[in-house]
Amino acid sequence: MTQYLIKNVSIEGAEPTDLAFKDGQIVGRGPQAAETVEDPQVIDGTNLVALRGLVDLHTHLREPGGSAAETVYTGTRSAAVGGYTCVHAMANTSPVADNALVVEKVLELGERAGFVQVCPVGAVSKNLEGHALAELGAMNKSKAQVKVFSDDGKCVWDSALMRRALEYVSTFDGVIAQHAQEPTLTAGSQMNEGVVSGQLGLRGWPAAAEEIIVARDIILAEHLNARVHVCHLSTAGSVRLVRDAKARGVKITAEATPHHLYLTDEQAHTLDARFKVNPPLRTEDDRLAVLEGLRDGTIDIVGTDHAPHPAQTKDCPWDEAAFGMTGLETALPIIIKTMVQPGHFTWEQVVQVLSVNPARIGGVADQQGRPLEVGEPANLCLVDPQVTRVVDPDRQYSKSKNTPYAGMELPGQVLYTFYQGKMTVKEGRPVEEGIQ
């Protein structure tokens, strides 16, 4: 395996230094790092920031069954370009990842692709139907060692089923990641319920539909002393609920998406279905509340909710379009724009919400989100925070092009990514012909 020496790089915002790694492990950090490697490939890290490899707790890779939108190969390639070294692949595939056979297949596809660590997420209910528990124990005991379970795309709306799921996963320190959407309040909904939905004549999706489920799950988690994770939190009310629950010691964690940190329902005025997402883009007040929740630690992580779709399901009238946006290649630039540039976050805090905390919640903290220190795995990315680029969907590496940021200028670019010491991205492009 190639040995690497990165010279004069700022590690998570610290003063520039050198970093060396070989055989998948960091072997040198500081002025003497060059002495730890022989004939290394040298990378000039001047003006670059080295970050721990990013970890996404919320990725839709679509495979098996949805390869028209994405495959494990193309999705993880896109993830590597975004600086990720680990993604958790959601269960709403076809067939659904509700048993050991399917999660092991997803694991195998991820290992074969080689760009990132792929952690399959298991379904909570059989076939995502919300009636009977999926094979939670079998998936946990499988080669995939599943620790995160979610019916994402659908809500575990039945309280008795949610209780049983929380009790079951507590036996092996698993977590239920909830898509908080009370279905009877959102039937036929197209966007956030508010002024804009009234102006456009589109059926609204009330904030209360999210908050009711968040509140119920807090009560269950507190009653059972079990772990629950709120996916793609999007309303000011949900932020308040989670903040209050954490103050009482409830085992709850929460994620925000980049798009809920940056965009609002005002974008729906364009009727461009790339802005149609689940949960919907909310009001400016909601966006600011989510930003504050991330800043004060109420929200633990940023998850992309990368949701690729074939062109024909997004290039159509709004009410006929699928919900979802791609996000793996733009997540870090959005965090730089919304959190770093305004001074809300240091690079160390970026690493917490994009690497350390998702690794901990997802049960991979022994491999991912590790400090860039001697003896630790060489999972990292090198970022140029000064460059700005106009987002061009045709130059992204996801199979699908449904990014809401098309034509927008965003800061920052990942120039290199290393997964287990292997170069997966070089000068902003994936290394595809044999991971180096």
Q: How far is CA 59 from the centre of its chain?
A: 6
Q: Cα dihedral sign for 292, 293, 298, 301?
A: negative
pLDDT value at position 436?
41
Which tokens belong to 216?
């119920």
176, with CB counted inside 10 A (0-12, 13-18, 19+), is: buried
The dihedral formed by the CA atoms of 412, 310, 91 and 147, expressed in degrees to the nearest 10: -10
pLDDT value at position 396?
97
Nearest to 410, CA basis, from 387, 435, 431: 387
Spatial distance between the Cα atoms of 380 and 159, rounded to a whole number of angstroms:
40
pLDDT value at position 432?
86
Contact 242, 293 (CB under 8 A): yes
Contact 326, 266 (CB under 8 A): no
| Enzyme catalytic residues | 305
Spatial distance between the Cα atoms of 354 and 360, rounded to a whole number of angstroms:
11
Q: Pairing mode, if any, of strands 380-390 and 252-256?
A: unpaired
**Known binding-site positions for substrate:** 60-62, 92, 278, 309, 323-324
Give the number of other CB atoms < 10 A from CB of residue 364: 21
Contact 181, 233 (CB under 8 A): no
SS3 of residue 429 by DSSP: strand
The phi and psi torsions of 61 (rounded to 5 degrees) equal: -95, -10
For residue 13, the one-letter residue type is G
Spatial distance between the Cα atoms of 117 and 107, rounded to a whole number of angstroms:
9
DSSP letter, residue 284: H
Which tokens belong to 279?
């949960």
Nearest to 224, CA basis, from 130, 160, 150, 180: 160
Q: Which structural domains are found in the chain, ordered by start?
A: 4-50+374-430 (2.30.40.10), 53-361 (3.20.20.140)
Spatial distance between the Cα atoms of 162 and 51, rounded to a whole number of angstroms:
36
Q: What spatial distance separates the first Cα and last Cα of the chain, rounded to whole Å? A: 8
**Known binding-site positions for Zn(2+):** 58, 60, 152, 179, 232, 305
- Output the tens digit of pLDDT for each of the chain's 436 residues: 899 999 999 999 999 999 999 999 999 999 999 999 999 999 999 999 999 999 999 999 999 999 999 999 999 999 999 999 999 999 999 999 999 999 999 999 999 999 999 999 999 999 999 999 999 999 999 999 999 999 999 999 999 999 999 999 999 999 999 999 999 999 999 999 999 999 999 999 999 999 999 999 999 999 999 999 999 999 999 999 999 999 999 999 999 999 999 999 999 999 999 999 999 999 999 999 999 999 999 999 999 999 999 999 999 999 999 999 999 999 999 999 999 999 999 999 999 999 999 999 999 999 999 999 999 999 999 999 999 999 999 999 999 999 999 999 999 999 999 999 999 999 999 998 655 4
**Known binding-site positions:** 58, 60-62, 92, 152, 179, 232, 278, 305, 309, 323-324
Q: Please report the DSSP string for 291-311 in residue order.
A: HHHHHTTSS-EE---B----G
Spatial distance between the Cα atoms of 33 and 51, rounded to a whole number of angstroms:
18
